[in-house]
Structure 1
């Protein structure tokens, strides 16, 4: 959902105030934001597969019966599921050279066009 003009102005004012009050913090925040990327579709797919495999192993451990073997199988299944979740939550690192490419601007242009279309539709429906 796009921000209104007022919200964008308030956000710009807050950013400017942060740069004035604590330039070191502002630059470190910008650096972290520029190096963090999106979740990789490959990581998400592998994570989902590991979670499902882990759940299947846990169910298999319950089906084996009671005892030490069943508990070990359950622990292995749970570990696989946790590994899958952590894999899904990892983000790819973007090098500073990649973040400076004009291709990084493409996504914001798309969002600006979508925002403009949304505003035109809202005005047309009034």
Structure 2
């Protein structure tokens, strides 16, 4: 759904206000936006390796034509590896929100421990 002209103007005004009030945060947000669009080199490398391995397994299955069952199984396995490699290269993991939640849970328990220590110190001084 496209934004109306008024909504686009409001967004531009908010962006300018953010740049004026906190330029470092605005710069960080811009870098984070471009980083989310950029694919991970590790995922691309792993996906390309799986793709090549899958193609090698398919070729090995064709070359091992002595048994049709083994040939078919190797072909299916190679195809599955190749598809897995391509999906690994093209799609980002959707577990970022879950991982962020786990990180927040660790932080909250850390913060709770720090708060308890602070309370004990404060009670000990009174």
Q: TM-score, normalised by structure 1?
A: 0.46
The structure number with the bigger radius of gyration is: 2
Structure with more relative contact order (C-alpha pairs < 8 Å, separation 6 or more)? 1
Answer 1 or 2: which has greater helix percent.
2
Q: TM-score, normalised by structure 2?
A: 0.46
